[in-house]
Chains A and B, each alone.
Chain A
Amino acid sequence: MGEQRLLEVENLSTSFTTEDGIVRAVSDVSFHVDRGEVLAVVGESGSGKSVMAMSLMRLLPKNAFVTGWASFEGRDLLSLSEAEMRKIRGRGMAMIFQDPMTALNPVFTVGNQIAEAVRVHQSVSKPLAMKRAVELLDLVGIPEPGQRVDSYPHEFSGGMRQRAVIAMAISNDPQLLIADEPTTALDVTIQAQVLEVIITVQRATGAAMLLITHDLGLVAGVADRVQVMYGGRVFESGDTRDVYYGGNNPYTRALMRSVPRLDERTSDRLSSVPGTPPSLIRLPRGCVFWPRCEFSEQVCRTTEPELIQCGTDHVSRCHFATTLPEFEYGARLGA
């Protein structure tokens, strides 16, 4: 098993000192990613998903305070020097960003930027790096890559830009791809296409992937495991099937109910999780989800639940994780 572990994180906490107080964006998060697997991290805005990823990449601003332990290919990420960390970024772990409009530099051609990413880690000549850029563009499904390498980002459509960003991310054969809401900024019509590109590329390169998203429907078919986050905490984690079918966590259930469905013939309004995500400066006492939870009881207001084992590698942060009423919704989502 030890060989299989690519990334192992234990008790990762990240807080920011701001003028309004200390923001605890990530609290005590532990998880692991095995080689070649896809772990989806799901949660609403402000649940700490992105900050968690940025903590691991060590790309947070100076006012961030990160504690815990994270090991990537056996190296302690949080204690590496900046120079060693730079070697890991891009080659060990690479990121696909949310908004391809801003993730590309407007004054360079797409090919130039991919070649630049190649040359950060590999001492190859510029023509050779450009050749590699063409191959990469071809790999992510850009037609006529030989001509398109010389295009500027503004000459690309949103979907093509995101493909270029993906090409950049895989340019140094990373072991772990971190995709932070990779399809959120795109037209719905091409979201599926781009996700397919990401998965194809991930399978082709054998890289593992941390897929950060708020869209449960999106990850159903592609993730091996799912980790649901809320208020900076892991709320549920397990195999995709277990999480979708199990219904062991009220927050996961609420998220699933909010996925719009085509086969529902009701004319009801779209369901949403009631209330708003908690302020990370002033979290509620007890379970951080209780003010919005349909099952909350007295104990939830006073005691924060631990992660409770619900099955093999399946945990849920709820006092009633194993005693909640039957839930069929997730099963129908098509995991």
Chain B
Amino acid sequence: MTELKGRPDTPLEVEEAPMDEAEGLVIVSRSFGRQTWDRFRRHKLAILAGVVLLIMTISFWAAPALSPYGFEEITPDFNQGPSLEHPFGTDDIGRDLLVRTFKAGQFSLLIALLVAVLTTVLGAVVGAVSGYFGGAIDSFLSQVINLFLVVPSFIVLLVVAVKWGSNPTGIAVLLALLLWTSIARVVRGVVLQYKEQEFVLAARAAGAGSLRILWRHIIPNTFGPIIVNATLLVGVAIILESTLSFLALGVRPPTPTLGNLVDAAKGDIDSDPIRVLIPGGFVVLIALCINFLGDGLRDALDPTTRRVRE
């Protein structure tokens, strides 16, 4: 634009300017799933975490199935250290700890997944309704959410866990009731943000109704944050469940969870630290992997992050 003076009577010619197709910059359109995967792939740590988590999950199911021992089976060898026969040793009444640990991983993971599903359903519905309809509904639901936040929930949990928390389903429901508010707040925030966007106005201007807009335009925008938060909640749930079980307020033996295995072995920490370290290590490893995975997903699921040029 250096030479723009003079020639006043020549009309500016409007040429069909080439669009983004300068050489080497052709943007190839890829599906949403493909793009998400491309962005996720760049998070090496998240990939590693996912692989480790996958291996753990598979072995949680495979090992008990392949082992000659049942997880409740009592063998004559009790209080043994690791051996070829019993790689993780046996406990004080002679149960094989490898089978028990992996079975515990199964239960702990299932509980955490159930918590994630329940919190997502409850949190997403409450959050979406609250955010979209606003007004009195929003005020009421926000107060309910706040109520859950101000109540010292862990103490409440300790009290009610005694009564209902002794089986896996019970503790999952209790944890979900404790944790759903975080999803609800995230979803409410996203819905509030998106319902003021111009594309929602554009959809209304095109004749779409409230439900259609909520379902087709707003809810899909909440999937990313929901997946990320639900993933992170799995980690939180594993730790909380283990904590409760460790305090003997959660799932009770003979059903093994990672928490109650640590609890059962804590008296032997001086003589046999491996019995505490193995289940404890699994808790840490799972929580760690899930957090890395969540971080990777957070970046991958945001469709507005930079596109990859090919």
Enumerate chain A interface residues (CB-CB to B < 8 A).
Answer: 57, 59, 86-91, 94-95, 97, 99, 102-109, 116-117, 120-121, 141, 143, 147-148, 150-152, 154-155, 157, 159-160, 165, 168-169, 171-172, 189-190, 192-193, 196, 262-263
Contacts and interface: CB of A to CB of B under 8 A. Distances in A.
A90 to B, nearest CB: 4
Categorize the interface residue count of chain B. 35 or more
A160 B18 CA distance: 11
Interface string B7-43: 0110010101101110000010101100100000000
B199 interface: yes
28 contacts: A59-B204, A90-B206, A91-B207, A94-B206, A99-B198, A102-B199, A103-B198, A103-B201, A104-B202, A105-B197, A106-B221, A106-B304, A107-B221, A116-B208, A117-B203, A117-B206, A150-B31, A151-B27, A152-B35, A154-B304, A154-B307, A155-B27, A155-B307, A157-B19, A165-B202, A168-B206, A169-B206, A263-B8
A234 to B, nearest CB: 24
A193 B17 contact: yes
B220 interface: yes
A40 to B, nearest CB: 19
Given A102-B197, A157-B19, A262-B4, 20 more contacts: A59-B201, A86-B208, A89-B205, A89-B207, A104-B202, A105-B220, A116-B208, A121-B207, A143-B19, A152-B29, A152-B35, A152-B303, A154-B303, A155-B307, A157-B20, A159-B19, A168-B202, A193-B14, A193-B17, A263-B9
Contacts of A165: 202
B44 interface: no
A211 B304 CA distance: 31
B205 A95 contact: yes
A100 B12 CA distance: 25
Given A192-B14, A193-B14, A108 B205 contact: no
A79 to B, nearest CB: 18
A101 B216 CA distance: 19
A117 B203 CA distance: 8
A57 B203 CA distance: 12
Interface in B191-231: 197-199, 201-209, 212, 216-217, 220-221, 223
B13 to A, nearest CB: 10
Nearest to B13: A192
A190 B20 CA distance: 13
A172 B9 CA distance: 41
B29 A150 contact: yes
Interface residues of B, dominant DSSP? loop
A171 to B, nearest CB: 8
Contacts of B32: 107, 109, 152
Given A116-B216, A193-B17, A104 B9 contact: no
A178 B113 CA distance: 50
Given A97-B198, A155-B307, A59 B205 contact: yes
B207 A103 contact: no
B201 A88 contact: no
A270 to B, nearest CB: 15
A88 B207 contact: yes
B304 A196 contact: no
B8 to A, nearest CB: 3
Contacts of A57: 205
Contacts of A87: 207
A155 B31 CA distance: 12
Contacts of B201: 59, 97, 103
Contact of A107 (B21, B29, B220): B220
Contacts of B307: 154-155
A60 B12 CA distance: 39
Contacts of A99: 198
B199 to A, nearest CB: 4
A181 B12 CA distance: 22
